[in-house]
Amino acid sequence: MPERIIAPKIQRGNTIRVSAPSFSASIFKPDLLHSAAATLQQMGLSTTYGNHSQEIDQFRSSSIESRVADIHAAFEDPDVNGIISVIGGWSANQLLQYLNYDLIRANPKMFCGFSDVDALNNAIQAKTGLITYSGPHHIFFGQERDFEYTKKHFEKAVMGSSPFKLEPSKQWSDDDWTTEQQKRNFIPNEGLVVIQDGSAEGKVVGGNLCTLNLLQGTEYMPQLDDVILFLEEAKFSLLGQIDRDLQSLVQSKGFKPKGLVFGRFQPNTISISELFEILRTKKEFKNIPIIANADFGHTDPKGTIPLGGTAKIVASKDGSLIEFIEH
């Protein structure tokens, strides 16, 4: 297992490179991309785009060669301080065998995205030891309403060095805000849900569940012993699929987590009671703390999860805690 590497923290005046390792940036209207860049500018950060980020093919992506070239160029460029994906998609795992992990290890930089991009996050972490961030894509910085939570937790994770808590948001949403910025449906947040009491501290592994499972049996899969798993899933994965994806994960080599945190599920996927029933069938999750309904994943707002960092969790009816100690 490679030694842990923490990239230099992002500072005001730094440059963020936007890359498209999954879907192309061209699926969005230019004004939305400009709005995202303007928000980062307000945070004191300049934005540049990968040379191939606007290319698009029949898969709404671009060639493997183009996407790999943009990632390598971003890590090589001394004027680039951090890298963020424009959006997720389906095919980031195509890139794994072509990435130069020695180059990445020699030029550690903030790398952030989630969903399909968690294939890259976990592979880079496993191969180089670099802490990566399962957090907002570039396009989310274009949100006009209720973005403050996402922004604050992104800043704490990639710009700050102090421990920070993943606090429950006041409200959440699951809108297609990219097509209608003002017509939003905000739902009061019931807060963290304790499924199993306890406390634990360990290395952070996870992100999107079905994407993480793509790495099983490969050299790109992180070790799963003595870890705190942070898992979330998108709305296309329903009850039986989530059950089978979790079952596949617990059958992977060396699986022995110390704790488990689930991001909020999107509406019309599974309920907390159904999640409880799924977990009840898996002895590997007995006697460890389990928390659900945390603010990360495919609903908004979303926290930024430092994969490869260290987390402490407390699951208790009297008050729960999710804190990232080293990130």
Q: Edge-to-edge, what's the strand order for the sheet holding 227-232?
A: 164-165, 321-326, 310-315, 198-208, 227-232, 259-263, 290-294, 193-196
Do the beta carbons of residue 52 and residue 62 sit within 8 Å? yes
| 232 is known as an active-site residue | yes
Average pLDDT of span 177-194? 94
pLDDT tier for residue 236 given thresholds of 50, 70 and 90: confident
pLDDT tens digits, 133-153 = 999 999 999 999 999 999 999
Burial class for 83, CB neighbours closer than 10 Å (0-12, 13-18, 19+): buried
| 237 is known as an active-site residue | no
Secondary structure element (H or E) that encloses residue 122, with its range: helix 118-128
Q: Choose the catalytic residue: 232, 237, 320, 327.
A: 232
CA–CA separation, 248 and 267 (whole Å)? 24
Give me the amino acid identity at 220.
Answer: Y
pLDDT tier for residue 195 given thresholds of 50, 70 and 90: very high
Residue whose token pair is 């604050």: 152
Average pLDDT of span 183-208? 96
Q: Look up residue 278 and give its two tokens.
A: 């799924």
Average pLDDT of span 8-12? 98
| 115 is known as an active-site residue | yes
pLDDT tier for residue 160 given thresholds of 50, 70 and 90: very high
Q: Look up residue 87 and give its two tokens.
A: 């959006």
Strands 290-294 and 193-196, bridge-based pairing: antiparallel
pLDDT tens digits, 59-90 = 999 999 999 999 999 999 999 999 999 999 99
Superfamily of the domain at 165-326? LD-carboxypeptidase A C-terminal domain-like (3.50.30.60)
Q: Look up residue 94 and give its two tokens.
A: 């195509």
pLDDT of residue 89: 97
pLDDT of residue 57: 96
pLDDT of residue 1: 77
pLDDT of residue 56: 97
Question: In degrees to the nearest 10, what's the CA dihedral of 178, 322, 294, 149?
Answer: -30
- Residue 206: partners with Cβ closer than 8 Å, 6 or more residues away: 118, 122, 134, 212, 229, 230, 231, 232, 305, 307
CA–CA separation, 266 and 242 (whole Å)? 13
pLDDT tier for residue 238 given thresholds of 50, 70 and 90: confident
pLDDT of residue 246: 96
Please state, rounded to an integer, the average pLDDT across all residues of the chain: 96
pLDDT of 216 higher than 80: yes
Q: How is the chain split into domains, by residue range?
A: 15-162, 165-326
CA–CA separation, 129 and 4 (whole Å)? 4
Average pLDDT of span 267-291? 93
Secondary structure element (H or E) that encloses residue 314, with its range: strand 310-315
CA–CA separation, 31 and 13 (whole Å)? 23
Percent share of the chain, pLDDT over 90: 93
Average pLDDT of span 162-166? 98
Distances (CA, A) of 29 to 19, 33, 55, 64: 16, 7, 14, 24
Do the beta carbons of residue 77 and residue 50 sit within 8 Å? no
Q: Choose the catalytic residue: 19, 53, 61, 115.
A: 115
CA–CA separation, 48 and 56 (whole Å)? 18
pTM of the model: 0.97
pLDDT of 197 higher than 70: yes
pLDDT of residue 300: 97
Average pLDDT of span 24-51? 97
Q: Choose the catalytic residue: 137, 298, 320, 327.
A: 298
Do the beta carbons of residue 307 and residue 125 sit within 8 Å? yes
CATH 3.40.50.10740 fits 15-162, yes or no: yes
Q: Look up residue 68 and give its two tokens.
A: 């790999």
- Residue 278: partners with Cβ closer than 8 Å, 6 or more residues away: 239, 242, 243, 246, 270
Sign of CA dihedral 222, 226, 228, 234: positive
Distance separating the N- and C-terminal Cα atoms of the chain: 18
